[in-house]
A and B are shown apart, each in its own frame.
Chain A
Amino acid sequence: MEATAKHAEHGIGRYVVVWAILLTLLVVSLFLGHLSNVYLMNALVFGVALIKASLVVTYFMGIRMEPKVIVVTLIITVLFMVGLLAGVSPDVTFNPSAAPTPL
């Protein structure tokens, strides 16, 4: 009931605004894709993707209404993926003996 009241309060307008921001960010990332500095380009494009994702999680999925235990679990889940990347990278990405791709 409490959730319903909260939702009714801000109404539809807020969702449309978020949607508009998301579309704007899409256009921005399309432009950023043309940057010639590859590192900067990647950092900015994925930065924008992270902003988009956090908007969806916050406003569309309503994560703030959820109990803390769920939020903590989800954060730990994402951290596990970072751990996976960190743990595997010495063997796969930075492995000097890895064979180069035949083209």
Chain B
Amino acid sequence: MSAHPVPIAHPMHELKYESISPSMGRVGMWAFLASEIVTFGGVVCSYLLLRLCHPEWIQHSSKTLLPIGAINTVVLLTSSLTMVLAHHSAELKNVAATKKWLACTLLLGLLFLCFKGYEYTHEIENGYLPNTAVFWAFYFAMTGLHGLHVLAGLVTMAYLLIAIKEDYRLTAVAPVGLYWHFVDLVWIFLFPLLYVTTQGA
């Protein structure tokens, strides 16, 4: 996601490229997110397709922890807010505020993973392993894939926290923000899919 590297001491130095959008980083990130939409879309579609013809999955699906899921939704929605404030500050070239809000987002992301870890522990202790039923295979695959995306976002944010300077990497905050909102977006759909509508009467 680098700014365009310019080979120094070279006549191509002062390139002016035609540009159709505010930044290259955002275009690249949208292209990447399109591929992410279909990745999560594929798993979610597979889950839906099987779920719709297997009403008996309710036996297992009702065992997911709705309260933890709800708390995690709050955590992730709030982290999206702090993220939006971070790239808002970055656009105003305010390094200190950017770092502050990035740090908040990072902490909230860590909190999300902590809750997720608690949930996994609880499920595994109660004998709900991926091979217990196909529902759990999907549960662990979907939340696991999402969790890995959260982790990747956290690593990127940690790097940005260290790297950002007045004239350096501030433009990278907006694409990373896009990515983080997308991770939030996925959770917005996973929450009803795995927690809300699965509890039974």
Consider the complex of A and B and state whether they touch directly, i.e. have CB atoms less than 8 Å apart: yes
**Is there an interface contact between A101 and B134, defined as CB atoms closer than 8 Å?**
yes
B41 to chain A, nearest CB (A): 4
Q: B20: CB under 8 A from chain A? A: yes
**Is there an interface contact between A92 and B50, defined as CB atoms closer than 8 Å?**
yes
**A15 surroundings in chain B (CB, below 8 A):** 81, 84-85, 88
**B38 surroundings in chain A (CB, below 8 A):** 77, 80-81
A91 to chain B, nearest CB (A): 9
**Is there an interface contact between A92 and B53, defined as CB atoms closer than 8 Å?**
yes
Interface class of chain B by DSSP: helix
CA distance A3 to B77 in the complex (A): 24
**B49 surroundings in chain A (CB, below 8 A):** 85, 88-89, 92-93
Contact-size category for A: 35 or more
Q: B22: CB under 8 A from chain A? A: yes
**A67 surroundings in chain B (CB, below 8 A):** 20-21
**Is there an interface contact between B77 and A26, defined as CB atoms closer than 8 Å?**
yes
Contact of A49 among B33, B57, B91, B191 (CB under 8 A): B191
B122 to chain A, nearest CB (A): 20
Contact-size category for B: 35 or more
CA distance A81 to B39 in the complex (A): 10
**Is there an interface contact between A81 and B37, defined as CB atoms closer than 8 Å?**
yes
29 contacts across the A-B interface (CB closer than 8 A):
A4-B91, A7-B92, A8-B91, A12-B85, A12-B88, A15-B84, A15-B88, A18-B81, A26-B70, A26-B74, A26-B77, A29-B191, A29-B192, A30-B70, A33-B197, A36-B201, A49-B192, A60-B184, A61-B182, A69-B20, A74-B33, A77-B37, A80-B41, A81-B42, A85-B48, A92-B50, A92-B53, A100-B56, A101-B57
Chain B interface residues toward A at CB < 8 A: 20-22, 26-27, 30, 33-34, 37-38, 41-42, 45, 48-50, 52-54, 56-57, 59, 66, 70, 73-74, 77-78, 80-81, 83-85, 88, 91-92, 133-134, 177-178, 181-182, 184-185, 188-189, 191-192, 196-197, 199, 201
